[in-house]
Amino acid sequence: MIIIGVDPGSTTGLAVLALVDDRYQCLHVEQIAAGVFPDRLGVVVTDLLATGQLDAETQPALFGGGTVVTGVADGALLIATEAFVVRGRAARSRTHQGSEHARRINGWLESVGKSNGGCRISTRSASQVKKWATDRRLAAAGILEQTRGMGHARDAQRHALFAARMDLQWPDPLSVSYPKQSVTQK
């Protein structure tokens, strides 16, 4: 099972998490211009399938932009994204581009989820996720440093980690039973 966290907007954060030997592993992080998000997500998923990190089955291509993806095995992928709500700071924005991009990306993700049984979509508000998926929790999971200087990618990690715990019942990195890191984070 792979979780792809998405922080949609004009600059979209992307983070790919897996649970390897009972520890979180961040397989990929990046920040993407909204206009190329579907193509980049297709490339990331194709790479995960090619390296065997994501279970595949033969299906028609699913991810856009001419990217050929053989398909995702049933239940192998969870995409966790922000439930974008226009209020507060977003409503006061000088430009509506960010909110338009976020709604377009989330609509596209929903259509991907509906067209592929191997892909589930989980949406939660940013405020709900950020209260739980703090920097302290990301550090305990061993994934914080990979997003240094990439705020949107870090928020994508938050969505992925929250979905891992709440949707899949993967371990809480702050729990006593979670394996501690062998190397101290800076």
* Domain residue extents for the chain: 2-166
Q: Indicate the average pLDDT of the chain.
A: 81
**Residue 129 pLDDT:** 97
**Residue 88 pLDDT:** 59
Q: Are 39 and 64 in contact (CB under 8 A)?
A: yes
**Residue 182 pLDDT:** 58
**Residue 180 pLDDT:** 78
Residues of the chain with pLDDT under 70: 56-74, 85-98, 113-118, 181-186
Strand partners, 79: 4, 121
Q: Report the candidate in 13, 11, 1, 45 with the shortest Cα–Cα distance to residue 129.
A: 13
Q: Are 72 and 119 in contact (CB under 8 A)?
A: yes
**Residue 86 pLDDT:** 57
CATH of region 2-166, choose from 3.40.1350.10, 3.20.20.70, 3.40.640.10, 3.30.420.10? 3.30.420.10
C-alpha neighbours within 13 Å on the C-beta side of residue 169? 0
Q: For 88-137, what is each residue's pLDDT tens digit?
A: 555 555 556 667 777 788 777 777 766 666 678 899 999 999 999 999 99
